[in-house]
Amino acid sequence: MLPAMPPLPFPPFKPCPCGSGRSYSACCSPRHTGERPAETPEALMRSRYAAYFLRDTDYVRRTWHPDTCPADLNLEGDGTRYTGLTIHRAEGDEVEFTATFRAGGRTGRMRERSHFARVGEAWVYVDGEVRGD
């Protein structure tokens, strides 16, 4: 297994990779650094997408329910580069989204309905159902 790579540096005043329209410093960065937790499942989904974009394995692991987090999670190892996020629906503890990506020289898209739960004071990702587009 390849060693975990540190997250990619990202300019704080560029638009956030999650597509919120806000700057990274005003959106997902405070969640990634631990300054501010995600207030809702949608905010957590957006910050997790931005972490996938930045290859921040530690953040993705920290925000994954301990009962369902894979032991071999390594965002650098698979070579996937995320290129866009669309939130279709966010209701209760579920968020449905489409993520676009490049992997192995090909473009792809994945639509998922994600499930979240609160553990203590924090929202965490539990699991998701990949759906047809």
The whole-number pLDDT of residue 27 equals 96
Return the domain boundaries, the chain. Answer: 24-131
Q: Which residues pair with 107 in a beta bridge?
A: 102
CA atoms in the 13 A half-sphere facing the CB of 110: 15
Calpha distance 1→57 (Å, rounded)? 14
Query: Is the pTM of the predicted complex or chain greater than 0.75?
Result: yes
Fold of 24-131: Nuclear Transport Factor 2; Chain: A, (3.10.450)
Residue with tokens 């975990």: 4
What single-letter amino acid sits at 39?
A: E
Mean pLDDT by 10 residues, the chain (133 residues): 53 92 95 94 98 94 96 84 96 97 94 96 96 65
